[in-house]
Amino acid sequence: MNWPSGLPVGAGWAPVRDTTEIVFPYDGSVVAAAPLGTAELAARAVEEALAVAPAMARMPSHARRSALTGAHDALVARRAEFERLLVLETGKPLVDCRVEVARTIVTLATAAEEVARLHGETVPLDLLPSGEGLTGFWTRRPIGVVVGITGFNYPLLLAAHKIAPAVAAGCPVIVKPAPATPLATLWLVHLLRETGALPAAAVQLVTGDVEVGRTLVEDRRIGAVSFTGSAAAGHAIARNAAPTKVVLELGSNAALVVAADADLEAAADAVVRGGYYASGQACISVQRVLVEERVRDRFLPLLAERMKNVVTGDPREPETRVAPLIDERSTARVLEWVRAAVDAGASLVTGGRRAGLEIVPTLLADVPDGVAAWEEEIFGPVVCVRAVADLDEAFATVNRSRYGLHASVFTTSLATAFAAIDRIEAGGVVVNEVPGFRADNMPYGGVKDSGIGREGPRFAIEEFTVTRMAIIRP
């Protein structure tokens, strides 16, 4: 880690009075003392961003692209260091941190490419006689200052999905990382500022508590707020920010449907691969599995057998797939939800207990409605399986959830695949792959309580710009 002390606010790095210890969830050791921001510093960041916004809006495309390509190249050069830092501050297995850095690199590169595609089109205004002789066209203009608030589970990638599209669109951006995981994001912001292609205040970062967040999102001069986190927090931000535009990427309890005609071996592989990566701390990890009744007794043993291969332990080891969760409070909550599901009638197939600080990968069968492990986002290494009579019941059960981010279906039938795409209420429907599949250049977001708006550089740039119509009578 190599950046100045303080926080990147304004043209330099603002000194802070206090710091907070960032700890390694695996053993509680201190990783670093992170600078702690205040509401006053957040207010200053807003003023600095507003001051630089006109210059950002006029900045030529080559300068914005240069900033993003420069940060991309710097991140590539420090790839292994970022991976190690992410393991330490998140406690996430190394394999997942490597994926996160790789995806961040793609996100920066894709946003740089999208700078060249930020344009409008002409409009025929003479559909009415009053428009005869008029020339019309529209362009996209920056929405203004963007506030990006990120979650702890993928701190670098989530920040990149706020910062890179904002820079590409010509918007100053202020990032507030999750309190437990600010370090990799601080370093990314430093790399962007070090390119020298942007005014320093175009990319700022403020850490801190709820008051810091409120100071940022409630300022009516902000153009847009982009938040990734829980549904409850997202709803509160939307209320507090109104009428400012919000882009919300919220929680889920992603479902995977196993049709009777599916390749059951592949489906079982997908459940294990998609249910326990990042220790289950991913909003589109597999949480609910709906399997047609006639293949349930063949499918469950396949699943249980594969559970033996999910390696738990030290996240620094390449073979580890499940490590301790971000903190003790999260661990206690997940185990309580598992106990409540069993008390309500679910069968505990595997797991449901601790092994040291981590939760043993857990598989629950026949989980009933009305329990948190089925209804809410568990955000831990737990997968719930339920049999359904047919695909109609499966799709209806998927849709009864208040969430709708990603879902998937395993089938060999093209008709079933298109029925799922047509009928499942979600931002993305994946066929014969995990619901956790996300390419960072695709539109990504949910419906219902899973959020509003879309990420992915092209689509986030659209969220961070507004159309400006030009009408000319020569």
Helices (H) and strands (E) in the chain, counts: 15, 24
CA distance 312 to 309: 9
Q: CA of 356: how far to CAs of 171, 307, 360, in Å? A: 46, 18, 9
Exactly one of 97, 171, 283, 384 is catalytic; which is it? 283
- Residue written as token pair 């490597």: 98
Counting every residue written for the chain, the total comes to 474
Output the furthest CA–CA distance in the chain (Å, rounded).
77
- Residue written as token pair 């939307």: 238
C-beta separation of 272 from 309 below 8 A: yes
C-beta separation of 114 from 458 below 8 A: yes
* DSSP element (H, E) containing 225: strand 224-228
CA distance 46 to 5: 20
Amino acid 209 reads D
Q: What are phi and psi of 420, to 5 degrees?
A: -65, -45
- 243: cis peptide before it, omega within 30°? yes
Contacts of 321 (CB under 8 A, 6+ apart): 93, 95, 276, 277, 279, 310, 311, 312, 361
Examine the residue annotation and report whether 384 is marked as an active-site residue of this protein: no
N-term to C-term CA, the chain = 58
Question: How does DSSP classify residue 322?
Answer: B
Exactly one of 249, 376, 455, 462 is catalytic; which is it? 249
CA distance 355 to 82: 28
Examine the residue annotation and report whether 100 is marked as an active-site residue of this protein: no
C-beta separation of 75 from 188 below 8 A: yes
Amino acid 414 reads L
Contacts of 77 (CB under 8 A, 6+ apart): none
CA distance 23 to 284: 26
Degrees, nearest 5: CA angle 271-279-425? 50
C-beta separation of 291 from 57 below 8 A: no
Contacts of 11 (CB under 8 A, 6+ apart): 48, 199, 200, 201
Instruction: Extract long-range pairs of 81-85: CB within 8 Å, 24+ residues apart.
Output: 81/1, 82/156, 82/184, 82/187, 85/1, 85/31, 85/183, 85/184, 85/187
Q: What are phi and psi of 459, to 5 degrees?
A: -80, -35
Catalytic sites, residue numbers: 249, 283
